[in-house]
Amino acid sequence: MEESLLQTYLVTGGAGFIGSNMLHFLQRERPGVRTINLDALAYSGNLRNLDGLDGSRHRFVKGDICDRALVTELVGQCDGVLHFAAESHVDRSIQDSSPFIRTNVLGTQVILDVLLDAKRSGASKRMLYVSTDEVYGSLPLDRPDLKFTERTPIDPRSPYAASKAGGDLLCSAYAHTHGLDIVTTRCSNNLGPRQLTEKAIPLFVTNLLQGKQIPLYGDGLNVRDWLHVDDHCSAVLAVMERGRAGEVYNIGGDNERSNLELVRAILGIMGHGESMIRYVEDRLGHDRRYAIDATKMHEELGWRPTRSAWPDALESTIRWYRENEDWWRSNDHAKIGNSARSKKG
């Protein structure tokens, strides 16, 4: 899709972590692009994430992606859809998967059906579905040579991952069956500003800022590939503008760290010792290792991360939480993160 043809994006979930960072990124990098931001403002949405956006180029609409009439109206006003809206916390999905199925599967179906109606009326529009590397399942720790490629079979292990895989596969099916212009991205773990304190890095950092210990699951050897959210946004834009219809693109930072290594890095940056680690009972079905092969992004689209160098990306993230205490205290959802990590007996 030619960049010049895209004048207005509908961004779903734009008051959340990655969605709001995408809105700020677009305003910096694409002065000619306007955005319509559809967000239900559930617990993870925060209007303060939109502070600083140019209102002449951004419009916020409070609403549910399962509201077909509303989605139809907004799709009619845009040239393309960036679909970020999702329930995304694994611990919450283990406690109750219903909201995840509704938002991540049924909500995606609503958007696809609206796009299909638009195509049938002669107004074909591109959608980018933001999926996750968690749809692939888990890799063994003793095979560092193995990484997820776009050809890796989908094998989700948590209710959250299964719900994202459901939306992911629906997009593939609609692209194949109906010829919809859909591209899908599967990204590794993100770090950066505006992430709720129920997620690992914000939880660990804000706990330390409050003099609390860091709760660490199991033996701490689970491995994740970390990417700065700005690099994720640049990759999403590259796929939206230049990706091939019907294709999946892996996005990763080639930046694997065990959870224990991550915690030790945070402790070092913040000047604490390992006495601030509290080992807790492991999460049910905890995937052992994620690792992304982003060769397709590199070779086909010329994208590479520029903000994810370690430990710089971690240091800048910690600095943001230090400097924005009023933000995270007013949006403190660490209760889920802490209560889910019950102390070992």
CATH of the domain at 19: 3.40.50.720
Asked if residue 275 belongs to a domain, the reply is no
Q: What is the pLDDT of residue 1?
A: 45
Q: Which residues are catalytic?
A: 133-134, 160
Could you identify the residue written with the tokens 């991952």?
Answer: 161
Look at residue 134 in the predicted model and tell me its pLDDT: 94
Number of domains in the chain: 1
Q: Among 17, 20, 25, 16, which Cα is nearest to 240's?
A: 25
Residue 38 lies in a domain: yes
- If DSSP states are collapsed to H, E and C, what string results for 139-207? CCCCCCCCCECCCCCCCCCCHHHHHHHHHHHHHHHHHHHHCCCEEEEEECEEECCCCCCCCHHHHHHHH
- What residues contact 271, with CB distance under 8 A and at least 6 apart? none
Asked if 285 contacts 157 with a C-beta cutoff of 8 angstroms, the reply is yes
**Residue 123 maps to a domain:** yes
Token pair listed for 202 = 């914000």
First and final CA of the chain: distance in angstroms? 56
User: One digit per residue, pLDDT tens: the chain, 345 residues?
Assistant: 444 445 899 999 999 999 999 999 999 999 999 999 999 998 888 999 999 999 999 999 999 999 999 999 999 999 999 999 988 778 788 888 998 899 999 999 999 999 999 999 999 999 999 999 999 999 999 999 999 999 999 999 899 999 999 999 999 999 999 999 999 999 999 999 999 998 999 999 999 999 999 999 999 999 999 999 999 999 999 999 999 999 999 999 999 999 999 999 999 999 999 999 999 998 888 889 999 999 999 999 999 999 999 999 999 999 999 999 999 998 754 444 443 333 222
Domain encompassing residue 45: 3-195+226-256+289-306
Is 329 part of a structural domain of the chain? Answer: no
> Does residue 73 lie within any of the structural domains?
yes
Phi, psi of 27 (to 5 degrees): -65, -30
> Is residue 146 domain-resident?
yes
Contact present, 264 and 274 (Cβ < 8 Å): yes
Q: Please report, as a single letter, which amino acid is at residue 153.
A: P
Say if 284 falls within a structural domain.
no
176, burial (CB in 10 Å: exposed 0-12, middle 13-18, buried 19+): exposed
pLDDT of residue 343: 29
Query: DSSP letters along 28-53, please?
Result: HH-TT-EEEEEE---TT--GGGGTT-
pTM of the model: 0.92
Asked if the structure places residue 120 within a domain, the reply is: yes
Residue with tokens 């007013």: 330
